[in-house]
Amino acid sequence: MGKEKRTLEPAEAAVSDVVGKLIEFWGFKRNMGRIWAVLYLSPDPLSAEDLRQSLKLSSGAVSMTVNELLRWGVVRKVWVQGERKDFYTAEVQLWRMISRVFNEREKSEIVMAIEAFEEALAEVSKLRHSSDAKTRARAELQYERIKQLLELAKLGKRLLDTLLATAKIDAEPLVRFLLRQQPSSSDT
Where along the chain do its domains lie? 10-90, 94-181
More confident residue, 110 or 92: 110
The predicted structure's pLDDT at residue 59: 94
**Are the CB atoms for 57 and 51 separated by under 8 Å?**
yes
**Are the CB atoms for 72 and 101 separated by under 8 Å?**
yes
The predicted structure's pLDDT at residue 2: 46
Q: Please write the tens of the pLDDT for every residue from 11-65.
A: 999 999 999 999 898 888 999 999 999 999 999 999 999 999 999 999 999 999 9
Rounded CA gap, 130 and 136, in Å?
6
Confidence class of residue 174 from pLDDT cuts 50, 70 and 90? Answer: low
Distance of CA 105 to the CA centre of its chain: 7
The topology under which CATH files domain 10-90 is Arc Repressor Mutant, subunit A (1.10.10)
Which residues neighbour 161 within 8 Å (Cβ) at sequence distance 6 or greater? 107
Confidence class of residue 173 from pLDDT cuts 50, 70 and 90? Answer: low
